[in-house]
């Protein structure tokens, strides 16, 4: 954990991180780029000075390859740093590598990046989740104490659950997004992975706050780390009964039964802290509509954002006798089938004849979800849910859009719909694979949410967990 690293030699820390990144990358495939001679701006006043970290390959890094895990940007080297990269550099943190993700962040499996599949370090036959897959595995393996990711639907919090680490997505706009390759701008959040809640607060304090280059960024000076006192007696939490009670599942698998049983066991432990936990109902029609609404809105926004990849200004150059043919060749050869599917969906729902039926109805579902969540959060301090079931086998991992099925992870979408702060922390194991518990709180209530998570973390006992390392 970061506090424990402050007294260690920075050069040795960085050297060890780079060595481990290279050793594990052959099997796990966490990194697109490993930086042999990373830059260090000394800042002895910062708690992050000399601390190595990794960043998802959606963050622009000056003079360092930034591919978005896509062939279309296979040779793209930016001339500037994303705001959060610059802030971490100024804080003395040392970037040792760029991590593999699903192409442009548009997937959820960790299997669609142009450098190949990211494997789960707890069991290489299973996936790491996505889209921030390499960032999750780099922390789970103990390569770095923290890593940057992005979260548009669950892309930090679900891989955190699969890999047994902490995944935090702050309030929308708390961390600026300038220089981060976009997916769906109304849903995109910068997030991060750590091995404990305290580290998540420390890192966020270093990178949060207003940025004049990002009109969605928030003005804030409040320290998050200073609010971690751990006493959460009297806090009120709620969970959604339709997704946490076994009787609501048709022919539940042993995995579902064990995951929900573990959740209830952990709820009982949390109540011992003096926390009140309540059961609330959410209309199953709304639950069933979460995934489709997300798909429609995110694909529509991706269609707009990814239109900049023309091959004219940057990225691979297409061939043709005119600009139209060059762009067509560029996008046909550069985008994977995953991206093409998403862009077809986005284009279709944005056609004038389809907007009312698909896009606008999806936006109405989003507002219904926000209204209901705000109603709940007027009575309770946070939503608590299982973050996911265990990581799926790689053979079963795919990003093909199919008929939705009941899944506890669908509630993670709520955090993006309303811009709520949301955090996943490790809570145990199901069939020898880690799973997490997720907390989602009020907009701009990050300080309170992190303190609740800190209290829960201390009770459950998985702070500092890494593969083959510390865990209780």
**How far is residue 142's CA from residue 260's CA, in Å, rounded to a whole number?**
28
Q: Tell the residue number behind the tokens 């402050």, with chain if given.
A: 6
Instruction: Cite the DSSP H helix spans in 149-253.
Output: 157-163, 197-207, 241-244
Which secondary structure element, helix H or strand E, spans residue 190, and what is its range? strand 189-194
Long-range contacts for 324-333 (Cβ within 8 Å, ≥24 apart)? 330/72, 331/72, 333/71
Strand partners, 103: none
Q: Are 350 and 303 in contact (CB under 8 A)?
A: yes
Residue whose tokens read 């199901």: 430
Q: Between helices 254-271 and 446-460, what is the axis angle to 10°? A: 100
Whole-number Å distance between alpha carbons of 401 and 26: 30
Both structure tokens of 16:
């060890």
Q: How many CB atoms lie within 10 A of CB 342?
A: 27
Which residues are marked as active site? Answer: 56, 131, 155
Question: Can you tell me the distance from the alpha carbon of 13 to that of 349, in angstroms, rounded to the nearest whole number?
Answer: 49
395 DSSP 8-state letter? G
Enumerate the H helices of 208-322 as residue ranges: 241-244, 254-271, 284-305
């Amino acid at each position: 954990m970061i506090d424990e690293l402050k007294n260690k030699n920075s050069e040795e820390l960085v050297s060890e991180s780079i060595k481990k990144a290279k050793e594990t990358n052959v099997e796990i495939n966490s990194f697109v780029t490993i930086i042999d001679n990373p830059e260090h701006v000394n800042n002895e006043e910062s708690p992050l000075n000399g601390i190595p970290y990794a960043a998802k390959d959606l963050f622009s890094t000056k003079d360092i390859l930034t591919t978005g895990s896509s062939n279309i940007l296979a040779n793209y080297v930016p001339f500037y740093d994303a705001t959060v990269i610059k802030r971490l550099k100024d804080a003395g943190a040392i970037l040792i590598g760029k991590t593999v993700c699903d192409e442009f962040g548009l997937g959820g499996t960790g299997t669609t990046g142009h450098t190949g599949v990211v494997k789960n370090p707890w069991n290489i036959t299973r996936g790491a989740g996505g889209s921030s897959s390499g960032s999750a595995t780099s922390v789970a393996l103990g390569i770095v104490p923290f890593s940057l990711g992005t979260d548009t639907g669950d892309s930090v919090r679900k891989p955190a659950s699969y890999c047994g680490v902490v995944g935090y997505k702050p309030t929308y706009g708390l961390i600026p997004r300038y220089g981060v390759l976009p997916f769906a701008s109304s849903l995109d959040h910068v997030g991060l992975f750590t091995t404990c809640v305290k580290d998540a607060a420390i890192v966020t304090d270093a990178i949060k706050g207003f940025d004049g280059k990002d009109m969605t960024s928030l003005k804030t000076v409040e320290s998050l780390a200073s609010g971690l006192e751990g006493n959460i007696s009297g806090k009120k939490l709620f969970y959604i009964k339709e997704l946490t009670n076994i009787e609501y599942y048709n022919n539940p698998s042993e995995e579902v039964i064990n995951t929900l049983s573990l959740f209830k066991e952990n709820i009982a432990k949390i109540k011992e802290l003096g926390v009140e936990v309540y059961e609330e109902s959410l209309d199953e029609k709304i639950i069933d509509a979460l995934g489709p609404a997300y798909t429609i809105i995110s694909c529509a926004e991706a269609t707009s954002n990814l239109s900049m990849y023309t091959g004219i200004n940057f990225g691979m150059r297409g061939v043709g006798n005119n600009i139209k043919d060059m762009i067509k060749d560029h996008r046909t050869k550069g985008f994977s089938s995953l991206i093409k599917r998403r862009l077809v969906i986005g284009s279709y729902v944005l056609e004038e004849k389809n907007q009312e039926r698909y896009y606008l109805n999806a936006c109405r579902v989003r507002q219904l979800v926000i209204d209901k969540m705000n109603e709940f959060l007027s009575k309770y301090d946070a939503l608590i849910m299982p973050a996911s079931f265990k990581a799926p086998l790689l053979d079963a991992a795919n990003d093909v859009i199919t008929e939705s099925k009941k899944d506890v992870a669908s509630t993670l979408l709520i955090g993006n719909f309303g811009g709520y702060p949301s955090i996943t922390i490790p809570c145990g194991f199901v069939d020898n694979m880690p799973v997490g518990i997720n907390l989602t709180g009020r907009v701009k209530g990050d300080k309170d949410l992190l303190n609740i998570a800190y209290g829960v973390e201390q009770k459950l006992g998985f702070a500092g967990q890494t593969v083959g390392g510390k865990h209780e």
